[in-house]
Amino acid sequence: MRSDGRKDDELRPVTAKAGIIKRADGSGYFKVGNTEAYAAVYGPRNLYPKFMQNPERGILRCSYNMMPFSGAGERVRPGGSRRSKEISLVTEKALLPVLELSEYPNSVVDIFIEFPQTDAGTRCAGICAASIALADAGLVMKDLVSAVAVGYNKGRILVDVSKEEEDIEGMTDIPVAVLPRTGKISLLQMDGQIPPAELQKAVAMAKEASRKLYEIQKQALKDKYHSFEVGELR
Amino acid sequence: MESKLLIQDKEIAVPGEILAEGMDFVPGPGTYRIGETIVASRLGLVQVDGRALKLIPMSGKYMPKRDDTIIGQVVDILFSGWRVDINSAYPGMLNIKDATSDFVSKGADLTQYYTFGDYIVTKITNVTSQKLVDLSMRGPGLKKLKGGRIISVNPSKVPRIIGKQGSMVSLIKEATYSRITVGQNGLIWIDGEPENELVAIEAIRKIENEAHLAGLTEKVKEFLDANKSRIKEVEMKPEEPEEQPERFERFDRERPRYGDRPRYNDRPPRREGDRPFNRRRFS
């Protein structure tokens, strides 16, 4: 039993929504436990300065930001930090494999991910929200991306670690992003130590959990067009 | 393997969702084949058309397409034309020769035709693989927009706003005594009495929000009837006469111009024994 009463392979309660930011081209909301992520997608749109344009494919820009009041007690200083820059980068790398950006040469797709409230697993929640937002923006994608962090401590593997668990001495934190249809991995980080055999087990558990997250993401997108009776279409 | 459809017709599919298994189905727009399965490549409404599966997009930015009539805003004046914002990731280019039949000398002031901020109804003549968009003003109904207002809607809802053979938009036009032009890129121009314009905008927003529901025409009719008291009955503004000349000088030449000389076809017919006309005589 874990401190919040979950089983080892149990996720925190998850809520997901699509299309909540009206002025954005696409948007998503993802809440895991007390971690809340909003993602807004703008684009494909004009890219300047011109030297950044790529004539072969569009580019993706991610911005990860924790709001000043979001953390546990300490005020997060606004503006970028080394940490947020790194997470922006890995989020971008985690999402790129599903996007078919060759359809949008010389343009840019911007994703802004904001966290009003955080309780560990932010990069994973951010990736889940961003993936909903990208689909909502009508971009050409091969798949969605689902992400979850697994923890390892003294022979025990925990799925979707909370801040409380993450702060335990010796806890290894392993965020994993999975493309659900193929089971391929687009993000795998590790902070701590774990025996190789255990790592394989941990990744397998992350894949299993991400399948549940995928179903929630899928439902969020379908629910946007909830009252669905179809008229004659041209 | 037996082919199997995994999703109902007219259901919403999300990217990566497997729509069908087996080789009996063919992937259409918005879908692709991986091995023996057909997978959705974007968010959209599934349409099963015999063996073909296709997705109708529900959202997304406007992607320029050839022969689309769109509304754009002039954002820059270049050496030989205008750059036009067409509500897309890519700007459109309007060249002088596609904009007017006048002779425009080098270095002339192009603002006399279109200047910054002007909205124009224009047509896409070409889109390259790199999304360079060529525009033209030659064609019926292509003009600079004066007065009225522009609103922006989701480009994927434009077909519903226009309706079958323009039935929906003419319904609104007649009910609100306004002139309306719908651009394929999601920009709509409305010109009428200010009160009536508001009703027209509300009707369009209603269509946009309920585009996927059945019986939309009836609902819009009901809405317009319910708001009849808000509409000011006025004479419909007459369409402005098109300034397009009927003929272009370049094509309708009346008399030989300087430099015209007899061509091959103007020669007298050749007779047997004549020297081939293009062979040089050696002496």
Element containing residue A191 per DSSP (H, E)? none
Residues B116 and B172 in one domain: no
Q: At what angle do helices B167-176 and B216-226 cross, to 10 degrees?
A: 0
- Token pair in block for residue A133: 């937002």
- Token pair in block for residue B267: 């020669």
Cβ contacts (< 8 Å) between B160 and chain A: which residues?
Answer: 231, 234
The answer, for B205 touching chain A at a CB cutoff of 8 Å, is no
CA distance A180 to A187: 13
SS3 of chain B: the string is CCCEECCCCCCEECCCCEEEECCCCEECCCEEEECCEEEECCCEEEEEECCEEEEEECCCCECCCCCCEEEEEEEEECCCEEEEECCECCCEEEEHHHHCCCCCCCCCCHHHCCCCCCEEEEEEEEECCCCCEEEECCCCCCCECCCCEEEECCHHHHHHHHCHHHHHHHHHHHHHCCEEEECCCCEEEEECCHHHHHHHHHHHHHHHHCCCCCCHHHHHHHHHHHCHHHCCCCCCCCCCCCCCCCCCCCCCCCCCCCCCCCCHHHCCCCCCCCCCCCCCCCC
In chain B, which among 127-156 make CB contacts under 8 A with chain A?
129-131, 156
CATH of the domain at B11: 2.40.50.100
Total structural domains within chain B:
3
pLDDT 10s digits, A103-122: 999 999 999 999 999 999 99
pLDDT of residue B247 exceeding 90: no
How high is the pLDDT of residue B278?
61
pLDDT, average across residues A156-162: 95
pLDDT, average across residues A51-57: 95
pLDDT, average across residues A187-214: 95
CB contact under 8 A, A231 and B47: no
Domains of chain A, earliest start first? 14-223 (3.30.230.70)
Q: What are phi and psi of B194, to 5 degrees?
A: -50, -40
How high is the pLDDT of residue A232?
37
**3-state class (DSSP) for residue A47:** coil
- Percentage, residues of chain A above pLDDT 90: 88
Residues B166 and B214 in one domain: yes
Residues B108 and B160 in one domain: no
- Among A101-105, A222-226, B149-153, B218-222, which is the least confidently predicted range? A222-226
pLDDT, average across residues A21-31: 94
Is the bond leading into A49 cis (omega within 30 degrees of zero)? yes
B203–chain A nearest CA distance, Å? 17
CB contact under 8 A, B12 and A229: no
How high is the pLDDT of residue A82?
95
How high is the pLDDT of residue B32?
93
Domain range holding B93?
Answer: 69-136
The single-letter DSSP state of residue A102 is: G
The amino acid sitting at B46 is V
Residues B153 and B202 in one domain: yes
Q: Dihedral angle at the C-alpha atoms of B265, B271, B277, B282, nearest 10 degrees?
A: -170
Give domain status of residue B91, yes or no.
Answer: yes
Residues B76 and B132 in one domain: yes
- Percentage, residues of chain A above pLDDT 70: 96
Cβ contacts (< 8 Å) between B130 and chain A: which residues?
Answer: 55, 105-106
CA distance A173 to A193: 9
Residues B118 and B163 in one domain: no
Contact (Cβ atoms closer than 8 angstroms) between residue B189 and residue B180? yes
Q: Which of A149, A144, A143 is nearest to A35 (CA)?
A: A149
Sheet holding A26-32, edge to edge: A14-18, A26-32, A35-46, A107-117, A59-66
Q: Which of A113, A108, A185, A116 is nearest to A146 (CA)?
A: A185
**3-state class (DSSP) for residue A42:** strand
Residues B120 and B188 in one domain: no
Give domain status of residue B208, yes or no.
Answer: yes
The answer, for B166 touching chain A at a CB cutoff of 8 Å, is no
CB contact under 8 A, A106 and B47: no
How many Cβ contacts (< 8 angstroms) between chains A and B? 106
CB contact under 8 A, A181 and B16: yes
Residues B215 and B158 in one domain: yes
Give domain status of residue B102, yes or no.
Answer: yes
Residues B187 and B218 in one domain: yes
Is the bond leading into A116 cis (omega within 30 degrees of zero)? no
Element containing residue A217 per DSSP (H, E)? helix A196-223
CB contact under 8 A, B18 and A181: yes
CA distance A167 to A178: 25
Residue B29: Cβ-neighbour burial (10 angstroms; 0-12, 13-18, 19+): middle
pLDDT, average across residues A128-142: 96
- Calculate the alpha carbon distances from B68 to A104, A225, B18, B122, B126 in Å: 19, 28, 32, 8, 10
pLDDT of residue B256 exceeding 80: no
CB contact under 8 A, A221 and B12: yes
CB contact under 8 A, B90 and A218: no
Contact (Cβ atoms closer than 8 angstroms) between residue B120 and residue B144? yes
The amino acid sitting at B129 is S
Question: How much is the mean pLDDT over chain B?
Answer: 86
pLDDT, average across residues B255-267: 59
Contact (Cβ atoms closer than 8 angstroms) between residue A99 and residue A141? yes
pLDDT of residue B63 exceeding 60: yes
How high is the pLDDT of residue B210?
86
CA distance A118 to A162: 10
pLDDT 10s digits, A80-98: 899 999 999 999 999 999 9
Would you say how long chain B is, in residues?
A: 283
Residues B43 and B116 in one domain: no
CATH of the domain at B122: 2.40.50.140
How high is the pLDDT of residue A228?
45
Residues B73 and B33 in one domain: no
pLDDT, average across residues B117-129: 95
How high is the pLDDT of residue B102?
84
CA distance B147 to B194: 11
Give domain status of residue B78, yes or no.
Answer: yes
The single-letter DSSP state of residue A137 is: T
Q: What residue of A is the nearest CA neighbor of B215? A: A231
Residues B132 and B77 in one domain: yes
Longest dimension (CA), chain A: 61
The answer, for B39 touching chain A at a CB cutoff of 8 Å, is yes
